[in-house]
Amino acid sequence: MTTKKIYLIRHGQTDFNLKGIVQGSGVDSSLNAKGMAQAQAFFEMYKHIKFDKIYTSTLKRTRESVSGFI
């Protein structure tokens, strides 16, 4: 039997995160410069892994966080 791994990540930083503003339904902010750097670092660290599936919400910050893989 093959063991499957599940990777859970949080989106990169947004300006709202810095201001302590809770983002949720109706708030669709993009990553800021640090968040984009975090997303790139995540991609560089895990690009060797062949993911079977990638699931994200439709929010910009989540899609931007995994953009290197999709």
- What does the pLDDT read at residue 9? 93
DSSP 13: -
- What does the pLDDT read at residue 1? 85
- What does the pLDDT read at residue 22? 81
- What does the pLDDT read at residue 62? 94
Who's near 30: CB < 8 A, 6+ residues apart?
14, 60, 61, 64
pLDDT tens-digit profile of 3-57? 999 999 999 999 998 988 888 767 889 999 999 999 999 999 999 999 999 999 9
What is the signed CA dihedral for 37, 54, 3, 42, rounded to 10 degrees? 0
- What does the pLDDT read at residue 30? 95
